[in-house]
Structure 1
Amino acid sequence: MAEPKPMSLRDRRRLETRELLVAAAIDSFSVKGFHATSIDDITDQAGTSRATFYAYFDTKDAVLAAVVERMWVEVEDIYAQFGALTDWSASSIGAWLTRFVRAWQMTAARNRVAAEASSAELAKDLPDRYRQLVKIVRSQHQLWAHFTDREADARASMLVLLLQEVLTHHFFEDPEADADLMVQYLTSAARDLLRAQRT
């Protein structure tokens, strides 16, 4: 298999500029909210011009779409860490959930603004996005072998829905709640979902 062609300096600079604009948009949205943020706010934060902004994005909505896409890439990366677990012990799941909660803490302001600004778009994509997360969660096939495929899909779906709902509620509605206690409860709930029922 041929080695991938290295990125040219020009392409690297274009990617860096685009990333700079997305990061500036995230910062501006987090502070002012999406609707109150202007394109000038984004370009001032990025240290670029409006012409540079329009070379990469047609509208403020387009940069919001890039922010939302980044959110999903980060979420998929976190669930991929779950999919890579070699066991479902309390310590393994608890350590993974602790990393998940920390990631949410770092991005909560951005996620809230992006979710509020693009709620219709997010809702439209949610079923496909969740199916992708379920597939990622199930990537360590041998750990799911004690379930039928249908049951494994159902349990992986419940796990994803549980975590997304609880973490969204915690960081958007009740950020002062005890995060360590939440991790403890979620670890227990996850282990129950992943344990085969013996009759």
Structure 2
Amino acid sequence: MIRVLAIFFLIAGSTNLVEVDEKVIARQGKVSFFSYTSVEDIKAENNQVLSVIDLDQKKIAVSMLMNAFIFEKALMREHFNESYLESDIYPKAVFEGEIIDFDRTITGEQTRIIKGVFAMHGKSKELEIKSKIEKKDNKYIVSGVFETLVKDYDINIPPLLAGNIAKSISVEFRFEYEPYED
């Protein structure tokens, strides 16, 4: 009887191992944004973005610290963090979503829609982002560009500076994923 129970638990335990979701991780993803106005262009880049994809569930999560954005001018960074994004109160932005019709067996490139919720500055917004997914060996590269509106995240821009900041911001991202190991 003990042998039968031991074999049962061994088989049950190995079944659970097969059902474990496979994940890939990007520890130093890149997110940049660009704001064009006739007065001044604002550009910033963040190379400390973390992202994980659950390949079996087709789920993706992204997390980034807002104060990790680097600007051409120190004053822009200061205004971004203190006046607009209030990074001390809202330190990070998060995206959680699903890669629609993703096929992990395709080697090479596929274009897919990533649908999910982006949360920043205490506000959440549903997004659909057309993305390019490249698979080479066991590595994935996910990249894309999308537009977002400043007003969607309750970012207050003083009327005096409204001409310096575009109402729509172009956001570009690129993540290089490798197999996740605990």
Greater helix share, 1 or 2?
1
- Which bracket does the TM-score occupy, shorter chain normalised? under 0.3
Q: With the length of structure 1 as denominator, give the TM-score of the two structures.
A: 0.24
Q: Which one has the bigger strand percentage?
A: 2
Task: Output the TM-score relative to the length of structure 2.
Answer: 0.25
